[in-house]
Amino acid sequence: MRKRQRSATGLGRRLIPYGLLAPGTIWLIVFFVVPMYFMAEMSLRSGVPNTPEGFTFNWAFSNYSDALAGRGEQIVRTFYYAGTATILALLIAYPLAYTIALKVNPRWRLPLLFAVIAPFFTTYLIRTVAWETILADDSPIVDLLKSLQIIPDDGRVLATSGAVIAGLTYNFLPFMILPIYASLERIDTSLIEAAKDLYASARHAFLRVTLPLTMPGVIAGVLLTFIPASGDYVNAAFLGGANNTMIGNKIQSTYLQQSDYPKAAALSFLMMAAVLAVVFIYIRLAGTEAFVGSEEEVR
């Protein structure tokens, strides 16, 4: 009797991890696997849009090559925009996070972090539309840029690549700042002191100690910025012009304007594969060690 009871507890214990995993697993199945299945099935259908027959499933793999035809420009542009925005976000976020985490009086950390996040209490869409007004051709900001000769007198900001990249950088900046801040904040500052005691210059201490210790934050930030930025279509739709569309806009218009659901689904899959490939290469280059390993060094 006693023994049996013990084994039941043992079984229960062994089940606990699965129980803890269950909510996440169910969430993933319902909101990821199921839609993916329908999308995959749709991407292999063919037919004529807007007919009563609709699209029928017939392993139409040609959708994938058709989807790419004529869209190379948007794909290159997408990675160019998302990549530039990610680099800019990193260049802005790191010094900012560094200052907040290590340089200012700890009393100021919370208010400063709040200042970083506060604009993001407003919805993403409203903020982007607001930029449309700020960057309008006759706006004071654009006038100022013109008088400073940063843009030519007949130039404009809105409806250019610059506006789209700026919008992406702005909108995804907190996703870069917060992980970097979190990793900087956890650094044991005595390690930096130790480096300095061992005659490392400030530059060396940063490059050899601080930066490697914060690599997981940088990598998480880069992924969190780059992946949604490459799938974004809101910035290109509002801040871009007719020649600044990204692949997200293409997918949207293939689906909503052209009613070609199979091709839109195929394009979505290709986009996902491309992003996965880029992320995979990135992690390979950054090194899995930097990705997961530095925590030990802190201990």
Site for other proteins in 204-223 (CB under 8 A): 216, 219-220, 223
Positions in 71-110 near other proteins (CB under 8 A): 74
Q: Is 5 in the site for other proteins (CB under 8 A)?
A: no
Compose the 151-180 pattern: x for residues touching other proteins by CB under 8 A, - for all others: -----x-xx-------------------x-
Q: Is 224 in the site for other proteins (CB under 8 A)?
A: yes
AA letter at 181 = Y
- Interacting residues of 179 by C-beta distance below 8 A, sequence separation 6+: 216, 217, 218, 220, 221, 224
Compute the distance between CA of residue 263 and CA of residue 148 in angstroms, rounded to an integer: 46
Q: Is 58 in the site for other proteins (CB under 8 A)?
A: no
According to CB under 8 A, which one of 90, 131, 180, 260 is a site residue for other proteins? 260
Given phi > 0 = left and psi -120 to 50 = alpha, else beta, which region is 240? Answer: beta
Query: How many residues of this chain interact with other proteins, rule: CB under 8 A?
Result: 79
AA letter at 222 = V
Query: What is the smallest separation between the CB atom of 200 and other proteins, expressed in angstroms?
Result: 26
**Which residue, 200 or 255, is less far from other proteins as judged by CB?**
255
Q: Which of 297, 271, 291 is nearest to 222 (CA)?
A: 291
Measured CA distances, 98 to 109, 139, 185, 206, 248 (Å): 11, 34, 9, 11, 33
Positions in 225-254 near other proteins (CB under 8 A): 227-228, 230-234, 240-245, 247-254
According to CB under 8 A, which one of 52, 72, 140, 152 is a site residue for other proteins? 52
Maximum alpha-carbon separation in the chain: 89
Query: What is the smallest separation between the CB atom of 185 and other proteins, expressed in angstroms?
Result: 15
Compute the distance between CA of residue 92 and CA of residue 40 in angstroms, rounded to an integer: 39
According to CB under 8 A, which one of 16, 114, 138, 148 is a site residue for other proteins? 138
The piece of 25-33, 90-98, 108-116, 196-204 that touches other proteins (CB under 8 A) is 25-33
Q: Which two tokens stand for residue 128?
A: 């982007």
Query: What is the smallest separation between the CB atom of 23 and other proteins, expressed in angstroms?
Result: 13
Q: Which two tokens stand for residue 40?
A: 């995959």
Query: What is the smallest separation between the CB atom of 53 and other proteins, expressed in angstroms?
Result: 6
Given phi > 0 = left and psi -120 to 50 = alpha, else beta, which region is 160? Answer: beta
Q: Is 67 in the site for other proteins (CB under 8 A)?
A: no
**Which residue, 205 or 236, is less far from other proteins as judged by CB?**
236
